[in-house]
Amino acid sequence: MTVTNSSRPEFELIAAIRQRAPVHPPVRLGIGDDAAVLAPTPGKLQVVTTDLLTEGVDFRWPEASAWQIGRKAVLVNLSDIAAMGAWPVAAWVASALPADRGEAFAREFHAGVLAAAEEFGVTLAGGDTNTWPQPFVVAVTVLGEVLADRPILRSGAQAGDWVMVTGAFGGSLLGRHLEPAPRLREVRRMMELAEVHALIDVSDGLAADLHHLLEESRVGATIVAADVPVHADAFRMGKGSNPLEHALSDGEDFELIATLAPEQARRLLALWDLETPLTKIGEITAETGCRLMDVDGTLHDLPPRGWCHAWQPSSAEVPAAESSGNASNGV
């Protein structure tokens, strides 16, 4: 008996995705074989990033639609590519789809993936599609090409640099965490106008990710509280909450932190012509540590507040009746 794609839903889905996934250089061969084929652009360094998103941690369904989940899964990776001073060119998506949500959920999810890829001219070059009897898990890998002769690293900040940020911070859980806007065009414009010493994107929280940059650069920073751009959503987070605290620690803003020498930062601000705001919030110091300056000039330690994954006791420490196993029927 001949088995057709119509009687094998996984392959019918893959065929539908392939029809909507045009191939752009440097990809030579995308979906359809055991692996993708790429021909790197001569003289271009490449960067690779991957992010794993899990239901209940990075999104909740049906609060987030399958389309939103697919789009977010790609866009958070594009934010990482932007933070390297690069442009995304190809993506691979591996998903463990809950079997009981049906084919419509799977198609809607991949429609979101493709929408994000199409928005930035990224080739969906492959991946893996599984179903299983557990909550949704998706991992996306993205390849990018650097925009200049080298990537921009977290480790490049220098004492005296100005600390600059794009956009505004706080309150992302009111909905913006499902609609990330990777600052790819912004970083490209930054690099056209000025020399950027260091970059990082803000996913864990402004304070937490600033600390990552400071640690890699082996420097410190003084941040001016009054200069931190606080998003309107941070003021809507509930009675008694502190908007500045939300701006510093909520995370999932997917904005950029950049450091530049003062003369380069002044030039950048003077010539900045994109809609996304660009703001100086402080300066890099030779003394390590991070400090927050209040309106009266008082300095306080600014700890790395933000998101951090945590472990529960290992299965050896949990009674057998409380542990759960995972099963996969993926190909």
Is 94 a member of any domain?
yes
- Which of 121, 146, 171 finishes a domain? 146
Residue 85 marked as a ligand binder: no
pLDDT tens-digit profile of 138-171? 999 999 999 999 999 999 999 999 999 999 999 9
User: Is the pLDDT assigned to residue 324 strictly greater than 50?
Assistant: no
Q: How far apart are CA 33 and CA 274, in angstroms?
A: 41
Considering the domain boundaries, does residue 276 fall inside one? Answer: yes
Task: Tell me if 91 is assigned to some domain.
Answer: yes
307 annotated to a ligand binding site:
yes
Residue ending a domain, among 111, 146, 181, is: 146
Start-to-end CA distance of the chain, whole Å, equals 21
pLDDT averaged over every residue in the chain: 92
Phi-psi region of 102 (alpha: psi -120 to 50; beta: other; left: phi over 0): left
pLDDT of residue 74: 98
Residue with tokens 């970059």: 199
Question: Average pLDDT of 220-240?
Answer: 95
- The bridge status of strand 220-224 relative to strand 289-293 is parallel
Q: What is the DSSP string of 262-306?
A: HHHHHHHHHH--SSS-EEEEEEEESS-EEEEE-TTS-EEE----S
49 is in an annotated binding site: yes
Do 22 and 142 fall into the same domain?
Answer: yes
**Rounded mean pLDDT, 60-66:** 96
294 is in an annotated binding site: no
Any idea what the CATH number is for the domain that residue 112 is in?
3.30.1330.10
Give the other-Cβ count within 10 Å of 21's Cβ: 22
Q: Encode burial over 49-84: b for 16+ CB neighbours within 10 A, e otherwise.
A: bebebebeebbebeebbbbbbbbbbbbbbbbbbbbb
Q: Are residues 92 and 159 in the same domain?
A: no
- Asked whether residue 227 is marked as a ligand-binding residue, the answer is no
Residues 6+ apart with CB under 8 A from 298: none
- Is 127 labelled as part of a ligand binding site? yes
Q: What is the mean pLDDT of residues 71-83?
A: 98
User: Residue 17 sits in which domain range?
Assistant: 5-146
Q: Judge whether 215 lies within some domain.
A: yes
Task: Give residue-wise pLDDT tens across range 171-182.
Answer: 999 999 999 999
Q: What is the mean pLDDT of residues 129-141?
A: 97
State percent of the chain over pLDDT 70.
92
233 is in an annotated binding site: no
Is residue 68 domain-shared with residue 168, that is, in the same domain?
no
Per the annotation, does 201 bind a ligand? yes
For residue 86, list its beta bridge partners. 146
Q: How many domains does the chain have?
A: 2
CA–CA dist 324, 59 (Å, integer)? 21
pLDDT at 78: 98
**114, two tokens:** 């493709």
d(CA 304, CA 296): 23
From the CA atom positions of the chain, what is the Rg in Å? 22
The angle subtended at Cα 100 by Cα 95 and Cα 106, nearest 5°, is 40
Q: What is the model's pLDDT at position 219?
A: 98
Residues 170, 262 within the same domain: yes
The answer to whether the peptide bond before residue 62 is cis (omega within 30 degrees of 0) is: yes
Q: 43 with 91, same domain?
A: yes
Alpha-carbon gap, residue 284 to 257, rounded angstroms: 12
Question: Which of 125, 146, 167 is where one domain is finished?
Answer: 146
Share of the chain above pLDDT 90, in %: 85
- CA separation for the pair 331, 328 (Å, rounded): 9
pLDDT for position 316: 59
Residue 325 clears pLDDT 50, i.e. is over it: no
CA–CA distance from 163 to each of 103, 196, 216, 227, 244 (Å)? Answer: 47, 11, 15, 11, 17
CB-based contact 114:21 (threshold 8 Å): yes
Q: What is the pLDDT of residue 213?
A: 98
Q: pTM surpassing 0.95?
A: no
Q: Is residue 12 part of a domain?
A: yes
- In this structure, what CATH number is given to the domain that contains residue 238? 3.90.650.10
Peptide bond into 26 cis (omega under 30): yes
Mean pLDDT in residue range 105-111: 97
The whole-number pLDDT of residue 306 equals 83
Shared domain check, 218 and 108 = no
Note whether 138 and 187 are same-domain residues: no
Instruction: Over range 23-47, report the average pLDDT.
Output: 96
Q: Is 80 annotated as a binding residue?
A: yes
Was 204 annotated as part of a binding site? Answer: yes
Annotated ligand binding at 154? The verdict is yes
pLDDT for the residue 317:
60
Is the per-residue pLDDT at 278 higher than 70?
A: yes
Higher pLDDT residue, 2 or 42? 42
171 annotated to bind ligand: no
pLDDT tens per residue across span 181-219: 999 999 999 999 999 999 999 999 999 999 999 999 999
